[in-house]
Amino acid sequence: QKEVEQNSGPLSVPEGAIASLNCTYSDRVSQSFFWYRQYSGKSPELIMSIYSNGDKEDGRFTAQLNKASQYVSLLIRDSQPSDSATYLCAVRPGGVGQNFVFGPGTRLSVLP
C-alpha cells in the first residue's frame, strides 16, 4: 500500500524562526508532490507543488524534494503566528490515473 508519513506534531517554533516540516513516501516512482495548509475548521489550501529534485521557493515558503531518499520537506522562513495550522503532504503516485495519497498532517504552532 502506498503511504505518506509525517510527524503529527505539534511542532512549536518561535515567531521569526524557520519551521521545517518533513514528509516521506513509499512509492518510489511518485512524480508530483504538494503541500497543503489547513487552518482549524477549514478546508485544505494548496500552497506549494514540486516535481523535480531540488528546491522551489515561493515567498517565505521553500519546498525541497529528494526522490532518491523519497523525502519532501517544506520550510517556512520568518514564521508568523498566522502560519499556525496543520500542513498536509500529498503525493501523486506513479502510473496513470493514480489518486493523491495524503499524509496525516503536521500541526505547526508559531509562538508570538
Partner 1 sequence: DVKVTQSSRYLVKRTGEKVFLECVQDMDHENMFWYRQDPGLGLRLIYFSYDVKMKEKGDIPEGYSVSREKKERFSLILESASTNQTSMYLCASSPQKGAIVGYTFGSGTRLTVV
Query: Footprint of partner 1 on this chain (CB under 8 A)?
Result: 31-32, 34, 36, 41-46, 49, 51, 88, 90, 92, 96-97, 99-100, 102-105
- CA triplet 2, 9, 38: central angle to 5 degrees? 75
Assigned C-alpha cell, 35: 503541500
Shortest distance (Å) from residue 27 CB to partner 1: 14
The CA-based diameter of the chain, rounded to the nearest angstrom, is: 45
Q: How many C-beta atoms surround the C-beta of residue 65 within 10 A? A: 19
How near is the Cβ of 14 to partner 1 at its closest, in Å? 27
Nearer to partner 1, 12 or 52 (CB): 52
Number of neighbouring beta carbons within 10 Å of residue 106: 22
- Cβ at position 74, least distance to partner 1 in Å: 14
For residue 3, report the phi and psi dihedrals to the nearest 5 degrees: -130, 150
Is the CB of 24 or the CB of 44 nearer to partner 1?
A: 44
Nearer Cβ to partner 1 (26/104): 104
Shortest separation between residue 112's beta carbon and partner 1, angstroms:
26
